[in-house]
Amino acid sequence: MSRIQADLVLLLVALIWGAAFVAQKNALAHVGSFTFIAARFAISGLLVLPLALRERSKSKDISINRTHAFDLALLCVSFAGAVVLQQVGLEKTSVTNAGFLTGLYVLFVPVICRVIYKQTLSILIYPAALLSIAGVFFLSGGELTAVSPGDGLVLLCAVGFAIQVALIGKIMAAVKAPFRICLLQYASCALVALIAALAFEHPTLENIMKAALPILYAGAISGGIAYTLQVVAQQYTPASDSAVILSGESVFAALTAAVMKGERLTPTGASGCMLIILAILMVQFGPYMLAKRKS
């Protein structure tokens, strides 16, 4: 897969994730957050399981050993923690605040890659990340509501997603086992959410069936397909660049809400969309333009 193809795959992932916001909102009318997460990622895990087993049988020379154990454990914890914190935080803060604070992971990823993993980053990644953050801010309405306890949870969620994106890039550089890594993420997330659902909610088969369609979309398409494509594509696109491209999720979420829910995109929101698109174009074409200019 070429770099351009990988970037296009990540853009498709952002589109699928953006559309998942509507499905998620519809599902929560029938089931609790933890029940939704558990059901969603159980489906994702079942879908990727055959691919993981096939990968293991065909790639016997590639093993996930003790040297990668810490990174893999941190990946599972950060992914499961981010998903759960986002859901809990959404119940305690406004959608505007949650949308902006979650989007801060775009800024955290290059910091993690540079400071912790000592990776060399493109000079364009910093202005692109800032443009993306500004875009998410305007797309959220251009203002934040009063600070609430949920804001801290959502901010931690952004840190978790940033660690996940950065770790995927690091792990995939050493272990070419995308499907097994995806299975670990999905299984850990489903298990954590299931324990929380049984402890704090009262899931019933009847309510789960009422939310079957959005759960299937979120589990099969947004989870089983999109998250897996993310891991595969990040073998070819640096983590910091991936974060900027994936921020397009906010644009697609707004467009999906406008089409499916009749929500109006304000001029401020449209300006935010344009800034995010500009950031993605900088990451996509900027390096080629700089290389051409130097030559």
Per-residue model confidence as pLDDT tens digits over 14-47: 999 888 877 777 888 899 989 999 999 999 999 9
Residue range of the domain that includes 76? 3-294
Ramachandran assignment for 141, one of left (phi > 0), alpha (psi -120 to 50 degrees), beta (any other):
left
**pLDDT for residue 144:** 62
Cα(245)–Cα(58) distance, integer angstroms? 31
pLDDT reading at 81 higher than 90: yes
Q: What was the pLDDT predicted at 213?
A: 93
Question: What's the distance, Cα to Cα, between the start and end of the chain in Å?
Answer: 25
Q: What is the pLDDT of residue 186?
A: 95
pLDDT, average across residues 236-258: 86
- Rounded to the nearest integer, the mean pLDDT of the chain is 86
Taking alpha carbons only, the member of 290, 253, 259 closest to residue 272 is 253
Decide: 276 and 247 in contact? Cβ < 8 Å.
Answer: yes
Q: How many domains does the chain fold into?
A: 1
- Does residue 197 surpass a pLDDT of 60? yes
Mean pLDDT of 260-265: 75
In terms of pLDDT, which residue wins out, 4 or 95? Answer: 4
Write the single-letter amino acid at 28.
L
Helix (H, G, I), strand (E, B) or coil at 40: helix
Residue 266's pLDDT is 83
Structure tokens at 19: 């559309």
Report, as an integer, the average pLDDT of 6-21: 89
pLDDT digits (tens, 9 = 90+) for 95-154: 667 777 788 888 889 888 888 888 888 888 889 899 988 988 888 776 666 667 788 888
